[in-house]
Structures are given as C-alpha cells and as structure tokens.
Chains A and B, each alone.
Chain A
C-alpha cells in the first residue's frame, strides 16, 4: 500500500488539498472526454438507431442537425459537456426515458446491494485478518489464507450460479432471483429505491423479510471477493505492525495480549485499512454488474448490460459516467480519510 504522505503545516496542506482537488477535476474531465469519445467511436450510425433503416433522407438530415452530428468534434464535445452540467445525459433509446431518470431509478438497488456487501466484508474480513495475523502459521491462519486466496480467484458469476443451484434449487433454503417474490412486487411504495428499507419504512413486515431474504444471496456472493481482499490486506498490515519495536515495548509494559493486538497494532493500521475498504467498495461496483446479471437484481449493472445488448449508447455512456464519477468520489474520500485520520500527516 502507499506510504504515509509527508507531514505538512497548514498553508502547505491547504495547497496540497487544492492540487488534490484540481487533479480530481482533471480526472473527471478526462472521464467525460473518454466517455464522449467512446460514444463517437461507434461504427453504428446513431441516427439509424433512432430513426431506423428506412427513414427518408430529409428526416435523417433533420435528426442529424438536431443531434449536432454535422458539427466538428469539439463543438459536439462542448454541447455534450453543457448538457452534462445541466444533468442531461440524453434519452435512452430502449426505455424512452431520460437516462438520468433511469439511473436514478436503478441506482439505489445497486447501492443497497453494494453497501450490504461491504458491511459483510468488513464485519467478517477485518477480525479474520487480525486473528490470522495474531496466530500466524497456525491452522487457522492457513485456512484463512486459503479461503481468501480462493475468494480472489473465484469468478463471481460462477459463484452466483452455483449458489442459486445449491441453495435455491437443490436445498430450497434461499429464494430465487430478483429483489422480491413476484407476490410482493409493487406492494411496497418506492421511497428510497432500496426495497428492504422501503418495506421497513412502510412497516410491511412480510415484504420486509422477503426482500431481506432475496438480498442475502447476492450480497454474500458479491461480498466474497471484497472480503478476501480485506482479509488479506488486514492480515498483511497487522503482520507488519506486529513486527514493530513499539509492540515489544508494549509487551515489556506487561499489557494483555488483547490490548496489544487491538489498541496498539490494529490502532496503527486503521488508517490504511480505511483506504483499502474505500477502494474495495469502489471495486464492488464492478462486481455488482456481474452479480446483478446472475440474480436479475434490478440495479445499475443490469441496466448497463441491458443497454449494452441493445446498443443503447446514451444509456451505456450515462451509466459508465455515473459509475466512473462514484469511483472517483470514493477514491477521493479514501485519500481524504488518510490525510485527516493519520496523526503523522496532520
């Protein structure tokens, strides 16, 4: 992991934050540019996608003028940016809705899934890593290492399919795909878009338990990869921390092993660990695309793949841009957390 950044006094730190923010701005700009260029790189004529193959030439010309496709590239880019700033990502060819509306509709489900997954990953992964490091070389340590190694190598979609096969079909302990049983579809008012939360807010406990049951499998499958990374990194950080001289000093003070492990060693790794967790959360967005496909979870990932199959470029690019921005945001958060929390950097 990255080393601790240099300490700095206030004015230097302010300047550093400023350059940090400007670099984020440049990154975002690059993101928009790349997304725009991808959109224009399509070999398929976007006009034909809208008006069909048999449209008369004057209709085609009108649409081309409307979309400003006859303008030079940088003018098109400028128009694109202006639309972006106003929150207009175009219209989805498939659903005929505004892409922003579609994304707003589908994003919360992904948020629900990803957040549940990261919580599982942290709650299980961090203690596993700490204890594995404390008992380095033991059977427990080996088991943890093997399991987390496997977790980093397993293709998520295969795991998802297998879980469905075993737990849903063969054993019947878990519900099937989707966010809820067909029975409950449409019964819970859409407040946050997160079905479990909405059901709780509506006090519809039947729907709540059903939604929760549907959430468990995809969340666990999605969590496995991040869990593995978090466990491995926690273990690695802890081993490094436990080799420090201050641990010997803590032992010399006669402190209990639990206190040494958690207050001293773990206390030292919390900051880089937060960075790892933030990045893992960002990585979950990728995993979500595959998991949602397997479990038919109505989130951004499913929207993205659906749009891909229909060559709905506005939707694809809009979703890519949104995910990219969330990714950048999370990276920024991770960096900020590091700067704010490490006393050596303050």
Chain B
C-alpha cells in the first residue's frame, strides 16, 4: 500500500505498519502525543524554541546596535525607548540580551555538537571492543569524570586564554565523559543480543555493526541526556562568563554581562538581574524539556 498523500492520524497510529518509514513515523507521532500531554514539558519546549528563534533573529529583532554606546544614559531605567533599560555604557539591554542569547546558546550548542558524537563514539567503541581498548578508554573517561566540571574548565581557560573558544573547548573537555559512560552501558546491553550475532554472521565488519546497528539504539537515551545536560552547561558557561573566564567584554554574554554590572546591583538592580533571569529561563526550559523527553523515551530511568 503506497502511503497516502496526507499523513493522516489513522495511518500513523495503525497497528500494522507496512513500511519501515510508516513504523518510524508512527512511533514518533505516538511519542509526540505522549509528550504533548505533559504541560511542563510542553512549556519547556515552547520556551526553548522561543529562545532559540529569538536568538537567531537577534539582528532583526533588536532595536539598537549591540555595541552602540550612549554614555549620557548609563544604567537607564526601563522606558519606552529601552524596554529593559541600559547597561554601564548606555547600550540597550534588550539588544544585549538578544545578542547575548546568541552567544550563550551558541556556546552550548557548539559544546553539545562536539561532546555528544565524541562520547557516543568512545562509548560504543569501548563497549563493543571490550578488553584492553575498553579499559584504556574507560580510564581516560574516568580521569575527566573525576574533575569537577567548572574547576577544570577554569584551569583550561586560564592556561589557554580567556575567551569563547577556550571556554567551549574547556567545557567540552569536561562534559563528554558521561556520554561515553552512557553509550558504553547501552552498548554492553545490546552487544549480546541475537540480532547483533545475526548481523555478524552475515559478515558485517565491526565498524558497520557499531555505526549502523548499535549507535542508533543509543541515540534516544543520549538525546535525553543531552537536553538535560544543556541546562547544566548553560549554567556552567554563564558561570565562566561571570568569573571573567568566558566571553570577554564587550562581547555580550549573559554571564559576562552580570559580572561587569554586578556593582550596580544597588542602584540599577535590573541591569545585572535581567540577564540572570534569562539564564534561569533557558536552563529551566531545557530541564523541563529533558524531563519530558525522558518520560517519553526512557521511562524506566530516574
């Protein structure tokens, strides 16, 4: 039966799918229905998507240029001209916030893009290969796992040079171990399954088995972990910025913005606080999203 032109609900939810695509799409749709019932998770999704879109559209949405200073209007209050007021050199806070979102969220995405594939690779290889390779890889993983994330990131950044690139590399270096562990645990479970033995009997190489059969199965729990982790990484990245080790001024980054305006908490409390709220909302959004995803994809955990 050729799939109908429209993806009807009935076609997606059928008990007897006729193609892999139909089954896959059906599974996605069922997962989506379950996810949709969770109000908090939906709120998280909406918030996260909103933040991402708003950050991407920062140049379009911002009323001002993020580096446009106006020293006559330092720490200006909330007004019609400046919806969130102005910062220590008169730059519009709303603009800085939007561009800052680009920086902060961009950092987090960059970290995830680095970390998840590396962790997946190391974990699946270690789990499938076993033996010496497994032990060595796990030792390396353990060493990086043994460091408290922020502290090691600080040390790295200090050694390299404070700035966004160093911060991304530093956080990435400390963030990958849990994914390797996770992927390895999943691989160990899957490796002994009959279908893997069957694939091996057909002559598939180890690379093919790992890439095409094992890795895809680890992806769902990895996605959950990535989303949940993103909230923590947002906090770490902002923390680095706050300590002066992340994005450097005048680049807008939520943590850095708080650091430079911290002293004005008494007189112009909104200037350091509003970026703080932004960090909170972003972190919360990913937490809620991750929780919702976990309930759908991985209900036994936690």
Contact = CB atoms under 8 A, between A and B. Distances in A.
Contact of A43 (B154, B160, B273, B280): B160
A130 interface: no
Contacts of A161: 258, 262, 265, 272-273, 276
B147 A158 contact: no
B280 A285 contact: no
Nearest to A162: B273
Contacts of B302: 1, 236
Contacts of B265: 161, 164-165, 169
Contacts of A43: 160-161
B156 A158 contact: no
B131 to A, nearest CB: 15
A157 B255 CA distance: 9
A317 interface: yes
B276 A39 contact: no
B239 interface: yes
Interface in B137-184: 139-140, 142-144, 146-152, 154-161
A43 B284 CA distance: 37
Interface residues of B, number: 47
Contact of B146 (A41, A149, A331): A331
Nearest to B262: A161
Contacts of B277: 158
Nearest to B275: A158
A289 interface: yes
A158 B273 contact: yes
Interface stretch (B51-59, B200-208, B240-248): B240-248
A309 B240 CA distance: 12
A155 interface: yes
Interface in A213-257: 236
Given A153-B284, A157-B239, A316-B154, A286 B160 contact: no
Given A155-B279, A283-B148, A289-B243, A165 B143 contact: no
Contacts of B150: 286, 289-290
A4 interface: no
A224 to B, nearest CB: 12
A293 interface: yes
A316 B143 CA distance: 18
Interface in B250-302: 255, 258, 262, 265-266, 269, 272-273, 276-277, 279-280, 283-284, 287-288, 291, 302
Interface of A is mostly: helix
Contacts of A162: 273, 276
B86 interface: no
B245 A26 contact: no
B228 to A, nearest CB: 9
Given A157-B239, A161-B273, A320-B154, A149 B159 contact: no
Interface string A305-343: 100110101001101100110011001000000000000
B146 A31 contact: yes
B142 A158 contact: no
B94 interface: no
A225 B291 CA distance: 17
Contacts of B95: none
Nearest to A236: B302
Interface in A156-209: 156-158, 161-162, 164-165, 169
Interface string A55-89: 00000000000000000000000000000000000
A17 interface: no
Contacts of A324: 146-148, 151-152
Contact of B159 (A41, A304, A327): A41
Contacts of B283: 152-155
A38 B255 CA distance: 24
Interface in A286-309: 286, 289-290, 293, 304-305, 308-309
Contacts of B276: 155, 157-158, 161-162
Contact of A39 (B159, B242, B258, B288): B159
Given A38-B159, A324-B151, A290 B284 contact: no
B154 A308 contact: yes
A308 B158 contact: yes
A152 B282 CA distance: 12
Contacts of B279: 155, 158
9 contacts: A26-B143, A150-B280, A154-B280, A155-B239, A157-B258, A158-B276, A165-B273, A290-B243, A327-B148
For the complex of A and B, 10 pairs with smallest distance between CB atoms: A30-B143, A158-B276, A153-B284, A153-B283, A286-B150, A320-B155, A286-B148, A38-B159, A308-B158, A155-B279
Given A30-B139, A42-B159, A313-B158, 19 more contacts: A35-B155, A38-B159, A41-B159, A150-B280, A152-B283, A155-B279, A157-B242, A161-B265, A236-B302, A289-B239, A290-B239, A290-B242, A304-B154, A308-B158, A319-B151, A320-B147, A320-B154, A324-B148, A328-B146
